[in-house]
Amino acid sequence: MKLNRRIALYALALWMQLVFGLGMTLWRDTLTLSGNWQIYMGSISHDLNGFTEFASQNTPPREIVGYLTPPSDDYLTRYARLAIELYPRRVVWLGNGPAESPITAWTSVDVRDSNWVRVLEKRDIRYVLIEGLADAVPCQQNCVRFDETRSLWVVK
Amino acid sequence: MSLEVLVVLAGLGSILLVGNLALDWMAPGERSGSERMALGFALGCGVVALLLFYLSLVYAPLALGLTILFVLTLVSLAYGKRLFVKRQLALRCTKFSILATTPIFLLSGLAALVALKTDLGFDGWTDWGFKARVVYVEGGWTANYFAFPWPEFIHRDYPLLVASLEAWAFAWLGQADEHAIKIIFPFFYFCLLLLFYSAVRKIGSSRIAMLFSVLLGTVPYLASIAAPSGYADVPLMLYVLGAVVFVRRWFERGNDSDLLIGAMLAALGVWVKREGIVYWGINFVAIAIWLALARSKSARVRVRSLLIFLLPAVGIIVPWFAFLSTFHIQATDFALVLDFTRWVRLPFIAVNTIRQFLAVDMWGGLWIIFFVLSVARLRSSNFADGYVWVSAVIPFAVLQLSFLFSIWVPFTHHLELASERLCMHEIAIAWYWIALQSRGLDDWFSELIMRRVKRMGDNSCARGR
């Protein structure tokens, strides 16, 4: 009798788990399917598609391409997407500022320093996609403008 | 369902067929349809990934093409011979109830629907999708890719099974379509549930097997986050669960073919995610202890069993680590430094571990049921069941302790990001252990149903009078 009661309690716990699990699954799946919840943060705005297209049209394949941005992880997802979409070009992320931690993904550069172009030469970079730095690196010679904040600079 | 998704499913079907050939070659014999399907897919993925890797070492630009050619030729010849010469069914398996497995199909279908609505996710792009694109563009794993100093988050040190599978799908599609390949991940979920069903079915009725399969399949984090995502956690679960099921079966029955399947799955787990090495290590230690305690067996038999477990690792794990060391690719995110100041991290890790086990929105009451049952049943369990319990608990503890060596600043950010996924790898093993302890449940259910039927009969008789 005591054993039966224990098993009944155990069966009740399993039943509750089943109902809860099924309920949570259906609720979360409904949210995802209706576009109100995202499983893992990774989505990027659609404006990057045009920029990727622009970059692939203006840079030769198998080239090493720089991606110069402010030093912020806000650009991490955009860089990842560019690196994937532009392959076989190899995209190197250049952050205009210091690295924040040992796992910082960008290579630190300082565009105010006149020698910063040497970093590009050292890494064999002849094309630089510039984003979010229109004030610091204005589009001048050998520069193709995409929009107000983004451009492609062909390093001589 | 779009045509692209169907093409990827056809590609997965060919993997399943080649995996079945590998299974028949390694461990011939009749199996249930669910077990055959899950094992065929798991082993087939291994065949494709390893073939692509080894052919890349010979001549990378043709490796992917040659892998497809080799697999399709092998599948056509072998199954053609079975069908037309021997006039047998292509897949030899015992009957399994479609009705009993309907919930598995429904849950997997739902996961597929959600998967196709979302993207691969950040790690899904960078860890696997990007590598798959490299293989698709270059034709194989080129030295250029491994030699280039990609940022840390690209993780060149991560193993190649999932990326190889995605590259295989890209090749079938003829384009790098990240949307269609999302179907791969719910397919792993489907195979995981089938393997789990067949494992529990060996020890209980189809009713109990289905109950526990649905309990596993509806764990909130697994069903609505991991299964539809483009991450490698569900694939790893398939391999580590498979290894535990077959090594346990070997402990119980002593059949070497079970040990070989367990060894293959444990070794292939290392090819899915680095964490697989922890599970492989636990299997190795458990087998070594078992053999040391098995005094009734001769030394020759013990050495033979140990070799059966170790040899797949020599062919599958060792070359990968040798390859990484050739390219001086070190583990990212972690640095093995003996720094005693890092012990201050222990309380954070301990609190995080407990918090993780109690995260009801992720696991429901799974871990609570597991630990309460552990207290009640652990003393009465045998070596094989104890091994399953250890496989469910120790890897998470070991992986949590690895955050002592995290180089992230602050390390708690790393811990919080990864903990849920690390905890998830064990949930199939935890449910398997719970199912092993629930042998009395089936009789109780039968008794309950009988009593209900009898009461209904009495009531209708009374009403008739």
Helix (H) or strand (E) holding A94: strand A90-96
Q: What is the pLDDT of residue B91?
A: 60
DSSP state of B225: I
Q: How far is B397 from chain A (nearest CA, A)?
A: 24
Q: Which of residues 117-136 of A touch B (CB under 8 A)?
A: none
CA–CA gap between residue B412 and residue B406 (Å, rounded) = 9
Cα gap B204→A49, rounded to integer Å: 53
Q: Which two tokens stand for residue B407?
A: 């180089």
Contact list, A80 vs chain B (CB under 8 Å): 122, 125-126, 130, 153
CB contact under 8 A, A11 and B441: yes
Contacts of A95 in chain B (CB under 8 A): none
pLDDT in tens, A2-29: 567 888 899 999 999 999 999 999 999 9
pLDDT digits (tens, 9 = 90+) for A86-138: 999 999 999 998 887 777 788 889 988 888 888 888 889 999 999 998 888 87
Where are chain A's structural domains? 1-39, 47-154
Q: Is the pLDDT of residue A1 over 60?
A: no
Within 8 A of B125 by CB-CB distance, chain A residues are 42, 80-81, 84
Note whether B316 and B239 are within 8 A (CB).
no
Supply the DSSP symbol for B125.
I
Distance CA B115, CA B9 (A): 14
pLDDT at B238: 98
Type of residue numbered B169: A
Q: What share of chain B is helix, strand, coil (3-state, %, to 5)?
A: 80, 0, 20
- Which range has the worst mean pLDDT, A7-11, B301-305, B364-368? A7-11
Q: Which member of A7, A14, A21 has the closest CB to residue B440? A: A7
| A64-69 and A127-131 beta bridge pairing | parallel
Q: CA of A30: which chain B residue's CA is closest?
A: B114
% pLDDT > 90, chain A: 54
Interface check for A12 against chain B (CB to CB < 8 A): the answer is: no
**Ramachandran assignment for A124, one of left (phi > 0), alpha (psi -120 to 50 degrees), beta (any other):** left
Q: Which one of A14, A28, A80 has the shortest CB-CB distance to B215? A: A14
pLDDT at site B464: 67
pLDDT tens-digit profile of B413-436?
A: 889 888 888 999 999 999 999 999
Which amino acid is residue B373, in one-letter code? Answer: L
Mean pLDDT of B104-129: 93
Report the pLDDT value the prediction gives residue B1, as an integer from 0 to 100. Answer: 66
Looking at per-residue pLDDT, the higher value among B376 and B446 belongs to B376
Q: Which residues of A touch B366 (CB under 8 A)?
A: 17
Query: Which helix H or strand E contains A150, and what residues bound it?
Result: strand A150-154
Phi, psi of A10 (to 5 degrees): -65, -45
Residue of B107, B122, B221, B450 to mutate, testing the A interface (most A Cβ within 10 Å of its Cβ): B122
pLDDT at A92 (0 to 100): 94
At residue B95, the pLDDT reads 61
Given an 8 Å threshold on Cβ–Cβ distance, is B407 in contact with A103?
yes
Q: How many CB atoms lie within 10 A of CB B100?
A: 17
ipTM of model: 0.90
Instruction: Give the pLDDT confidence of B52-109 residue by residue, as tens digits.
Output: 999 999 999 999 999 999 999 999 999 998 888 776 665 666 666 677 789 999 999 9
Contact call for B119 and A43, based on CB within 8 A: yes
Provide, as residue numbers in chain A, all residues whose Cβ is less than 8 Å from the Cβ of B110. 25, 29
Q: Which two tokens stand for residue B214?
A: 């649905």
Report how far residue B277's alpha carbon sits from residue B283's, in angstroms, rounded to the nearest whole number: 10
CA distance B381 to B374: 10
Cβ separation of A42 and B369 shorter than 8 Å? no
The pLDDT of residue B248 is 97
In tens, the pLDDT along B203-249 reads 988 889 999 999 999 999 999 999 999 999 999 999 999 999 999 99
Which chain A residues are closer than 8 Å to B333 by Cβ?
Answer: 103
How many other C-beta atoms lie within 10 A of the C-beta of residue B86? 8
Q: How many helices (H) and strands (E) does chain B have?
A: 21, 0
H or E element at residue A64: strand A64-69
Q: How far apart are CA B373 and CA B357, in angstroms?
A: 15
User: What residues are paired with A12 via a beta bridge?
Assistant: none
Name, in order, each residue with C-beta under 8 angstroms of B145's C-beta and a sequence gap of 6 or more: B131, B134, B138, B156
Those residues with Cβ within 8 angstroms of residue B72's Cβ, 6 or more apart along the chain or in another chain: B14
Q: How far is A30 from chain B (nearest CA, A)?
A: 9
State the maximum Cα–Cα separation within chain B, in Å, rounded to a whole number: 87
**Which of helix, strand or coil describes residue B156?**
coil
Numbers of helices and strands, H then E, in chain A: 4, 6
Q: Which of A76, A84, A90 sits opposite B129 (nearest CB)?
A: A84
Cα B292 off chain centre by: 28
Q: A109 has which bridge partners?
A: A96
pLDDT tens-place string over residues B274-290 = 999 999 999 999 999 99
Q: Indicate the residue of B117, B126, B220 with minimum beta-carbon distance to A25.
A: B220
DSSP string, B23-67: HHHHS-S--BHHHHHHHHHHHHHHHHHHHHHHHHHHHHHHHHHHH
Q: Contacts of residue B152 in chain A, CB cutoff 8 Å?
A: 103, 105
Residue A66 has pLDDT above 90, yes or no: yes
